[in-house]
C-alpha cells in the first residue's frame, strides 16, 4: 500500500503577479523551488489563505532571486496580487519509506524571503 504524503510546502507565499494571458500555471522563483525541492512541471496544489480557493496546477521556473510567485492562465483567476497562499507538493510513499520520512517545509515573509525551514509542523494544541 502507498500513502500520498506532503513532500514540500512553501508557507504563506505572496502572489506577486497574476497573468491571465501567459502560458504556464505558476511561475516560482527558482531559488524557492530549490529550497522546497519542487521541479519544473511538477504538479502542485495551491491554497489561497485569503479566499479559501484550493486548486491543482503545475510549477514553472521563475527568475532566480526575483521572489516571484506568478499565477498564470486560469490560475490567475484564483488569487489576486498580494494574496497569501500555500504551495504544496505531494508524493506516493510506501510504509517502509515513511519510517524516517519528513517533508521539506519553507516559511516565507511578506516579501517571499525565506525566514525559516523545518521538517516538522508544530503540534496543534486544543
Closest CA to 15 of 87, 85, 64, 116: 85
Q: Which of 22, 58, 90, 101 is catalytic?
A: 58
With a CB cutoff of 8 Å and minimum separation 6, the contacts of 52 are: none
User: Among this protein's residues, is 61 annotated catalytic?
Assistant: no
The CA-atom distances, in angstroms, between 7 and each of 30, 48, 80 are 17, 19, 26
Q: For residue 33, what is the enclosing H or E element?
A: helix 30-36
Phi and psi of 70, rounded to 5°? Answer: -115, 120
- Summarize the annotated binding site for substrate as residue ranges: 57, 73-75
Q: Decide: 87 and 13 in contact? Cβ < 8 Å.
A: yes
User: Among this protein's residues, is 58 annotated catalytic?
Assistant: yes
The catalytic residues are 25, 58
Amino acid at each position: 500500500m502507498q500513502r500520498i504524503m506532503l513532500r514540500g510546502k512553501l508557507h504563506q507565499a505572496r502572489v506577486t503577479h497574476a497573468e491571465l494571458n501567459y502560458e504556464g500555471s505558476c511561475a516560482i522563483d527558482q531559488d524557492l523551488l530549490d529550497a522546497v525541492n519542487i521541479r519544473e512541471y511538477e504538479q502542485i496544489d495551491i491554497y489561497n489563505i485569503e479566499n479559501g480557493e484550493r486548486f491543482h496546477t503545475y510549477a514553472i521556473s521563475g527568475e532566480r532571486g526575483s521572489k516571484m510567485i506568478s499565477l498564470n492562465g486560469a490560475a490567475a483567476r484564483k488569487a489576486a496580487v498580494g494574496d497569501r497562499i500555500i504551495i504544496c507538493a505531494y508524493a506516493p510513499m510506501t510504509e517502509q519509506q515513511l519510517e524516517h520520512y519528513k517533508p521539506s517545509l519553507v516559511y516565507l515573509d511578506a516579501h517571499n524571503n525565506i525566514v525559516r525551514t523545518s521538517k516538522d509542523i508544530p503540534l496543534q494544541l486544543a
